[in-house]
Amino acid sequence: MHIEHYKGVFVIRYFYTLLLFLLSPLLLVTLYKKKPGKPPFGSRWKEHFGITPVLKNQSQRPIWVHTVSVGETIAATPFIRALKQQYPNIPIVITTTTSTGAQQAEKLSDIAEHRYMPIDLPFAIKGFLKAIKPQKMLIMETELWPNVLHYAHQSGAPISVINARLSERSAQRYKKFQPIFNLLANNLSQILCQHTDDAERFIRLGIKNNKIKITGSLKFDISITEEIKQKAQNLRATLGTNRFIWIAASTHEGEDDIILSAHQKLLIKHPNALLILVPRHPERFHNVLLLCQNKKFNTVSRTSNQPVNLTTEIYLGDTMGEMMTLIGASDACFIGGSLIGNKVGGHNVLEPAALSKPIMTGPSYFNFTDIVERLNSCRALSITKNDNDIFNTLDSLISNDEMESMGKAAKSFVESNQGAIAKTLRIIDEIH
């Protein structure tokens, strides 16, 4: 039975690898496609094929942290800094798949080196492992690749999924491909879940209880540095202290029209209001700027360095890595990825909460169901379905002076749930 099991695993992985090999040209074309605002890979494209430069610091085998792209890298940053404090003499390597993720990871170059994640083909994974020789692998959230897990496990590196989350929708998908999920799960040493709901879904899929631990979400352990506070104050002074400013953060295609319609309604009643509009993906910056201009909004983009005055109606946040500063300069925050059906499932609502801002989100927030509903129940967040809802919520915030009470409730919620970094560090220290 034991031999039959391994034969079955080998067959599944063989056919998966064959399928990925056939599809890889299409995947790589998508990955390398040039887009406005997207950093080029340059000569580093070879890293995707396992031609990976060794680390500058080879004093010890490194800890490998995989963060996929921008969002995961930003969320993992406080944890990675704490990880370095706990292991000051051990090198850390961060892998991302995307060039925008690499750009974000470079901000940690004082404590970690960046490499691109190889594509999930055996020769590429083996090349990476031969160059890097990790002693542990930490995967942020749930980015699981069969060959990566197989060969990393085979190399002797224990694999932990940290800050793991599994929506009901994702759990149902994995259930349809249970043999493939088992192939992934057998190589994992432990899964550190954000919430009890996540843990229960993993267990339902067959993960053993002793591999599951609940640490809370790393995203609660947000560090609002003095530098961020100062930058936010300076930006607010530039944009105007005696006006209402709201931000629509991480918007996706299809949402900007709704946001702009809500802002148009707001300007009729509150003509000095300013919207900070921040598209999720940098390749959309230019098109969103054109959309604002075509709709006759007086628009200034952050990178233009043009002066902002009381006639400015929209401030386009067309930079990367400044979201906390932009939110900090606002009075209220709408979180995007939540108005376009079930395509995205919302983005992180905890950053505005940590900055004491009233929060709005659209009705599609399945990536953050537990957090959104808890924030809603403590009157720190409003669920808005369309432009009228967004306008009415903003108007109520201004007219009824609810901003301070909602902001305090949001910050209190974040503070009461902090501690995931310390729990995660303690648990990964126990595994060898």
Residue from 85, 80, 82 nearest 107 by CA: 80
- DSSP notation for 185-233: HTT-SEEEESSHHHHHHHHHTT--GGGEEE---GGG-----HHHHHHHH
**Residue 72 is among the residues annotated as catalytic for this protein:** yes
The first and second tokens of residue 260, run together, are: 């702009």
d(CA 172, CA 153): 26
Kind of pairing between the strands at 314-316 and 332-335 = unpaired
Q: How far is CA 302 from the centre of its chain?
A: 22
Q: Write the DSSP symbol of residue 126.
A: H
The first and second tokens of residue 200, run together, are: 């229960």
The first and second tokens of residue 406, run together, are: 């909602």
Non-local CB neighbours of 400 within 8 Å, separated by 6+ positions:
none
Dihedral over alpha carbons 193, 199, 202, 204 (to 10 degrees): 180
d(CA 262, CA 396): 13
The first and second tokens of residue 42, run together, are: 């340059």
Residue from 168, 173, 159, 146 nearest 211 by CA: 159
The first and second tokens of residue 321, run together, are: 């890595």
The first and second tokens of residue 254, run together, are: 């299809």
- Among 47, 72, 113, 255, the active-site one is 72
Q: How many helices (H) and strands (E) does the chain have?
A: 17, 14
d(CA 254, CA 265): 18
Q: Is 266 exposed, middle or buried (0-12, 13-18, 19+ CB in 10 A)?
A: buried
The first and second tokens of residue 109, run together, are: 């170059």
The first and second tokens of residue 127, run together, are: 């090349």
Helices assigned H by DSSP within 240-339: 256-269, 285-294, 323-328
Q: Which residues are catalytic?
A: 72
